Amino acid sequence: MVNFFKVYNPLNVLWLAILLFALRIGYILQVPDKLEFTFVEPFARLLVPVVYEYVFSPGMNMFLAGVLVLGQAVLVNYLVNRYNLLSKPTFLPALMYVTLTALFTPFMVLSAPLICNFLLIWMLFKLLSFYKSDDAKSIAYDLGMIVAVGSLIYFPFIFLFLAIWIALAIFKPFNWREWVSGILGYVTVFFFLAVFYYLNGRLGRFYDIWAPLGSKFPNSIHIEYLDFLVLIPVIIIIALYFVKLQQNFYKSYVQVRKSFQLLFIMFLITGLSFYVRAPFNINHFILCAVPAAVFFSYYFVNATTKWFYESLYLLLLISIIYFQFNTF
C-alpha cells in the first residue's frame, strides 16, 4: 500500500476516502447514542450564543469529521509537495495523516482540536514562506491573528504563538518589528473580544481567560496503558524517521533542514500544551498529527526495504483497527 501512495496521483484521493472509512469501521459499529461537539472555548461562547453541542447525530458527526480529515490530508499533502520537503512529489503525507487521525476513537469525531488543525496547516504555509520572504511583518501579523482565533476555539492552541518566534529565529535574521508584529496580530483579535465583554458587562471576567496558563504541569496522568499499545508501531516509525533524517540531513537543502527543525518544535509544542486544558482528553493530540504525518512520510519515502516498511505499515493498520474497539 505504501508503494501505491509513493506515486503522486490525484486519483489516490478516492483510495484515501475508502481507507478513511475502513479505519473507522470498528467505531462506527459501536458509536455512542450521543456525541458532544464543542467548537469554541467557554469564554468565547458570547460570540456563539446558540446551543450546538448535540446538534449533529452520531452518524453525521463522524461523517463530517471524516470529511474534515480528508480535506486536511489533501492540504497537508499539498503543503509538503509545494515546499518540496520530501524531494519528490508523493501522496504519502495524505496517507499518513488519514492513518494517524484514526489512532484513537476520540480522533474520529468532531472536536475543537480537529478544527484547529486547519489553522495549524494554514500557519505552516505561512511559516514556511518566511524563508524566501524579504519582509515578514505582515505574515507575522497574520500568524498572530490565526493563533488568536485558534485560542478562541481551543485554548491550548495559544502555545503555537511560540512557533512564530521560533520560525523567525530559524528562517530570518533578527528584526524586532517582525517579532512585535506577531504580538500585534494576536492582541488585535483579543482586543475586539475585550470590547465585546465590555459591551456585555463582563469585562471583569475577561482576565479569567488567562488563568489556565498558570496551571502546573502534571506529575502524572491516569491512563489505561493497554489502550496505548497502538502507539508501539508509531514509536518504531518515529525512531526510524530520526535515523533516516540523520543520514540525509546534510544532503538536503537548507530550507528543507530548517523546515524539519520547525516541524519538530511544533510537534513538541502541540504535544506538551495539553496541560492547560482540564480534564485531560486524548483528542488534544490530534494536533500532533500534522507534523507527525510529515515525519512518517519522510521515513517511508526514503525506506528501501520494501517487505519491511510495508509490513510495518500493515502492522500499524491492524493495530488501529483492533484497538479502536476500546473506548477511552
Give the model's pLDDT for residue 328.
Answer: 45
Give the number of C-alpha atoms closer than 13 A to the C-alpha of residue 281, restricted to the C-beta side.
17
Q: How far apart are CA 184 and CA 144, in angstroms?
A: 7
User: Quick check: 318 and 107 in contact, CB under 8 A?
Assistant: no
Query: Which residue reads 461562547 in cell numbers?
Result: 45
Q: Which residue is listed with cell 530570518?
A: 172
Strand spans (E) along 55-175: none
Q: Which three cell numbers stand for residue 94?
A: 495524505
Nearest 10 degrees: CA dihedral of 224, 24, 317, 264?
-70
Phi, psi at residue 202, to the nearest 5°?
A: -125, 25
Render 24-67 in DSSP notation, one character per residue.
THHHHTT--S------S-GGGGGGS-S--TT-S-HHHHHHHHHH
Tens digit of each residue's pLDDT, the chain (328 residues): 888 898 888 888 999 999 999 998 888 877 787 887 777 787 777 777 666 666 778 888 889 999 999 999 999 999 999 999 998 899 999 999 999 999 988 899 999 999 999 999 999 999 999 988 888 899 999 999 999 999 999 999 999 999 999 999 999 988 889 999 999 999 999 999 888 888 887 887 778 788 777 777 666 666 666 667 888 899 999 999 999 998 887 777 888 899 999 999 999 999 998 888 767 788 899 999 999 999 999 999 998 889 899 999 999 998 888 877 654 4
Cell of 308: 519491511
Say if CB 154 and CB 112 are below 8 A apart: yes
Rounded to the nearest 10 degrees, the angle between the axes of helix 231-248 and helix 306-323 is 150
Q: Say if residue 279 is preceded by a cis peptide, omega within 30 of 0.
A: yes
> Domain-by-domain residue ranges, the chain?
2-323
Q: How far apart are CA 291 and CA 137, in angstroms?
A: 25
236 residue type, one letter:
I
Q: Quick one: angle between helices 112-128 and 137-153, nearest 10?
A: 170
Q: Which three cell numbers stand for residue 289?
A: 498529527
Angle between helix axes 112-128 and 58-82 (nearest 10 degrees) is 10
Residue 109 and residue 122 in contact, taking contact as beta carbons nearer than 8 Å:
no
Give burial (CB, 10 Å; 0-12/13-18/19+) of 224. Answer: exposed
Best CA proximity match to 75, nearest among 13, 132, 24, 19: 13
